[in-house]
Amino acid sequence: MPDLNLDQALQAAKTECATLAEQLRQARVDLHRLGAQDMNRILVAGAVTSAAGLLVGLAVGFRIGRTK
């Protein structure tokens, strides 16, 4: 009897794994179709712009601090 339950659990786990793998594949297809690469470019551009703004702000702050 324990073998039957173990086999059933193993089969259920394999089925769930296959279902999750299919859902992940479909999500990747959807993201690619929706332009995830463009979104990544926008996020990187935003991060670079934020970093540049931070550096400019620090430079201005240090200059103002040194003149006083």
Q: Is the pLDDT of residue 16 over 50?
A: yes
* pTM, two decimal places: 0.46
Alpha helices in 1-68 (DSSP H): 2-34, 36-67
Task: Specify the 3-state DSSP secondary structure of 68.
Answer: coil
Residue given tokens 């934020």 in the structure block: 50
Q: Which DSSP state fits 1?
A: -
Q: Is the pLDDT of residue 48 over 90?
A: yes
Average pLDDT value for residue range 12-34? 86
Tokens of 52: 């540049």
54 vs 59: CA distance, rounded Å: 9
Q: Is the pLDDT of residue 40 over 60?
A: yes
User: What are the residue boundaries of the structural domains of the chain, listed by start?
Assistant: 1-34, 36-68
Give the pLDDT band of residue 51 (cuts 50, 70, 90).
Answer: very high
Give the pLDDT band of residue 3 (cuts 50, 70, 90).
Answer: low
